Chain A
Amino acid sequence: MPEVHQFFQQLINGIALGGVYALIALGYTMVYGIIELINFAHGDVYTLGSYFSLSILALIPLSKYTHGWELWLIAIAVIVLAALLCGIVGVLIERLAYRRLRNAPRLAPLITAIGVSLILENIMQIWKGTSEVSFPQFLPDHVHVVAGVGFHDRAVLVVVVSLVAMAALNMLVFRTKLGTAMRATAQDRDAAQLMGININSTIAWTFFIGAALAGVAGFISGIYYGTTFFLNGYQAGLKAFTAAVLGGIGNITGAMLGGFLIGIVEAMTSQYISDQWTTVVVFSILILILVFRPSGLLGEQVPVKV
């Protein structure tokens, strides 16, 4: 395979991987933007999204449906349901674990977040066991070859779904009343409250949306890899967090960009250095960013406390 084809092939691998990271990174960045909490349980909500999708798919007699369009409709329904369930879990986590600690020293909610992460991991372990769980590959999956570079429908699905979800999020944040409330709450919670914004419900909606996006990521990664594992969210969560920091924590466009960049960096490291160095390279980027450009590529978007 010519060198240039190889590069583009890896670029596709990287973008597909990055789409998943980007969707998870959005949840980190939205929550951080609004209450300055690094929600470490977020990676596990992503895995929960895979597990919800699995359980929903188990209820559908997939073999009865043979037409491509029927299967795609099922896929859309499962994505919506999984996102909804994850969103509810996100709201519950905020209500039960974080709301009381909103004005506590910042270390307290951080430790709570780690605790919630462990609780979710244990629940998933009890639910589906500690083995890899197969994810039904029910969608039609053709290989396309364009200019010598091959890609699967599944990879296209990952990229399309993540781009659509991101576009929808952007609309929501910048074009709707809720989005305005979210941005106002992020800028100055007290002033927003004085303007008549319900802080609690705005923050709850932020958790709902972030967790729902993680649920979408959980579904598409299940389709993309064909398997899922109860601890997957741990490493994926850390890498998505790196993506959020890379793009500028609190910055929604930054999180998307960061996610795709981290995915591409991983694929290129594997191609041109060695696969065992990918994790090292990703976390070295995290450290370098924190040291030399703490506000990330596109700049932080957090309240400026005067």
Chain B
Amino acid sequence: MRCYIIARYVSIAAVVALTSAALAGCTGNAPSGTSGGGSVVRIGSDLPVSGGDASDGVPTANGVKLAVIDANKRHLIPGFTIVASIVDDAVNGVHNPSQGAKNIQAFASDSAVLGVVGPFNSNVAKAEIPLSNSLGIALVSPANTNPDLTKGPLAAQLRTTNPNDITYFRVCTTDDIQGPAGADYAAQVVKLKRAYVLDDNETYGKGVADQWAAQFQKDGGTVLGHDHITKGQQDFHALLTRAASLSPDVVFYGGTTSTGGGLVRKQMADAGLGNIAYFGADGVRNDQFLTDAGAAANGSYATVATVNATKIPAAQTFLKEYQAQFGVPVGSYSANGYVAAMTIIEATAAAMKDTSGALPTRAQVLDQLRSGKVHHSIIGDFSFDANGDTTNKIISIYGVRNGGWVFLSQKNYAKLSPR
């Protein structure tokens, strides 16, 4: 009997220990920051900062943190302390649209939050823009590139509550420029001819793969096939064996590292495609890709829909501060995270001129963002157009050499109309 009781308590204790351990893994999604009210202004940041997406989200969120530190140092919002409120929209290590939507609702219910930086991924943006539109809270994305978020009938469907109110802005350019720019580079500079196209079937991945494939054909290349991978897929051997039978000289992957970009590159070697080029877009230009693909990463290329900050004189102080603060070099979109946060901070400061020093409303902040004025930023001068898109249309191209991403070139597409 005594043994029985002991066994009983041991098993209960084990279950309690396991459950509490499980619960501990779920924290970290609630908006963080100091206590509300008083003289605090919060800048929300909704990015994927855990799992396979962390190597995209964390460097971008660091940009947001640095913007807040800088703005406080320069007293950009007099009388108020600015606090960065960083939340995670990744669930189980992958960006998650419903988690993003929950985060926006949480931010909207906090009156000290006047604007949110984010999201990173276009499918998350699709879930968040309708909320941003109906709740009237500014959303400034550092990295969303799907064109349908701002332009055309699909974008209009995202803002049905207040069709004429633009509440979503972005400081990077779009995939109708990024995709073709990558295809041009592949066809004209790397001289590739035969492409096998893959994507992860997400808003961003499928969109950029279609754009890339269309331009690659216009540039005289052949698209041998276009297949899609599924969520959680681990084995790409069969898919790549089929691709190999068509003897491509490049595999294009539209998607993120967290949806399989690095694993595809790694397994290409197993299917006899280890020596051909791999092309991706901004979703794979991160350190996690290098980790996942291992030695197979060499010979990969990726586009990024913004300028390389190291090439801009105005960004040099930012780069030094970033290195000093975080001890690592910037990521693809660190500077964009900084700029996105700064646009919200500057809009708040500008709105305060009309409120004689009181905290402005979210609507007043939005009015400032919609004013079309020029922002002098560390990624160059730009303004938001009538759709909320940046007028700054620069694509930079990177390649993997000796296991690391190196900058290859960049091109300004501002003078050209989208193709």
Contacts and interface: CB of A to CB of B under 8 A. Distances in A.
B14 interface: yes
A270 B262 contact: no
Contact of A9 (B227, B234, B241): B241
A17 B235 contact: yes
B294 A275 contact: no
Interface stretch (B16-24, B68-76, B104-112, B409-417): B16-24
Given A13-B237, A225-B234, A227-B266, A132 B52 contact: yes
Contact of A227 (B54, B227, B244, B292): B292
A124 B145 CA distance: 33
Interface stretch (A27-35, A57-65, A228-236): A228-236
Interface in A102-159: 118-119, 122-123, 125-126, 129-132, 134, 137, 150, 152
Contact of B288 (A16, A96, A131, A225): A131
A6 interface: yes
Contacts of B18: 119, 123
B408 to A, nearest CB: 26
Given A130-B92, A134-B292, A266 B227 contact: no
Interface in B220-242: 227-230, 232, 234-239, 241-242
A283 B205 CA distance: 25
Contacts of B201: 276
Interface in B90-144: 90, 92-94
A274 B234 CA distance: 16
Majority-rule SS of A interface residues: helix
Contact of A10 (B15, B234, B241): B241
A193 interface: no
Given A125-B92, A132-B291, A96 B11 contact: yes
A131 B22 contact: no
A195 interface: no
Interface residues of A, number: 45
A198 interface: no
B263 interface: yes
Contacts of B234: 225, 229, 232, 235-236
A276 B228 contact: yes
B294 to A, nearest CB: 6
Given A1-B245, A226-B266, A131 B93 contact: yes
Given A13-B237, A231-B232, A130 B50 contact: yes
**B contact residues, range:** 35 or more
Nearest to A116: B18
Contacts of A119: 18-19, 22
B51 interface: yes
B270 interface: yes
A147 to B, nearest CB: 15
A131 B51 contact: yes
B272 interface: yes
A284 interface: no
A280 to B, nearest CB: 9
A17 B291 contact: no
B244 A1 contact: yes
Contact of A275 (B21, B227, B232): B227
Contacts of B50: 129-130
Interface string A184-197: 00000000000000
B152 interface: no
Nearest to A276: B228
Contacts of A9: 241
A166 interface: no
A66 interface: no
Contact of B232 (A130, A234, A268): A234
Interface string A259-271: 0000000111111
Nearest to B7: A95
Contacts of A225: 234-235, 263, 266-267
B238 A150 contact: no
A14 interface: yes
19 contacts: A1-B244, A10-B242, A17-B235, A17-B237, A119-B18, A119-B22, A126-B24, A126-B25, A130-B51, A152-B270, A227-B266, A231-B232, A271-B242, A274-B227, A275-B238, A275-B239, A276-B227, A278-B230, A279-B230
Given A10-B238, A96-B14, 16 more contacts: A13-B241, A119-B19, A119-B22, A122-B22, A123-B21, A130-B94, A132-B262, A134-B292, A150-B272, A225-B235, A227-B263, A229-B93, A235-B232, A235-B234, A271-B238, A275-B230
Interface of B: 11, 14-15, 18-19, 21-22, 24-26, 50-52, 54, 90, 92-94, 201, 227-230, 232, 234-239, 241-242, 244-245, 262-263, 266-267, 270, 272, 288, 291-292, 294
Ranked nearest first, the 6 interchain pairs of A and B with the lowest CB-CB distance are A130-B93, A130-B51, A270-B238, A122-B22, A267-B238, A275-B239
